[in-house]
Structure 1
Amino acid sequence: MNEFITPPNHVNFKAKRLFGEMGQIIDGSVAYVDLNGGGPIQRHTHEHNHLFIVTKGEARIEVGEETIIVKKDESYLVNGKVPHAVWNNCSSETVMIGISVKGL
């Protein structure tokens, strides 16, 4: 899932798979995260998971004791039961799509 490809029977078209089966989608949103922005300030938990897809910039996802860097055209699935927060990790705006999903 790391490289863009041109699928068969496509022209001037590149695609990259960001995720596979992960559970039932609850909702989705787009977030514009300014320089030094993010949150929540206190890490939080909940029953559903988050799939974050970065479309511009770079996100820093703090999950438990780990820090995950997600770059443009990458995704990361956060286990909602683990304390987490999401922050902008670059010197310009970061844009992300967040999809809330029920776990499998």
Structure 2
Amino acid sequence: MLVGVLFPALLLTGYEIYHKLSGSRVCVPMPAAENAAAPAAEDAGTDNNNSIRIIGAGAAISGCFISLIALLSGGETLVLLTTGIVLTVLGGLIFLTTKNK
């Protein structure tokens, strides 16, 4: 867990230090917005459904991995296996009940 947190932070810190020391002052301009109006309500609903489907799929996959770890570890794994199964079922339900319009 520490590697997963510290490694990206160290990479970002190294990147910032490198650019600070190299004197690079290149700024990338932002593209001009052609239409700054808010997106239509239909588009927002579709984007929201897609986001919920992705979260459901991620939860289901995570639950499968947790269950697999529980099965492979041996020993007292009832809590871990139950958590994995519940997460898989809930993630699958979220994924399946959210229709992609």
Higher relative contact order (CA 8 A, sep 6+): 1
TM superposition score normalised by structure 1: 0.17
Structure with the larger helix share? 2
TM superposition score normalised by structure 2: 0.17
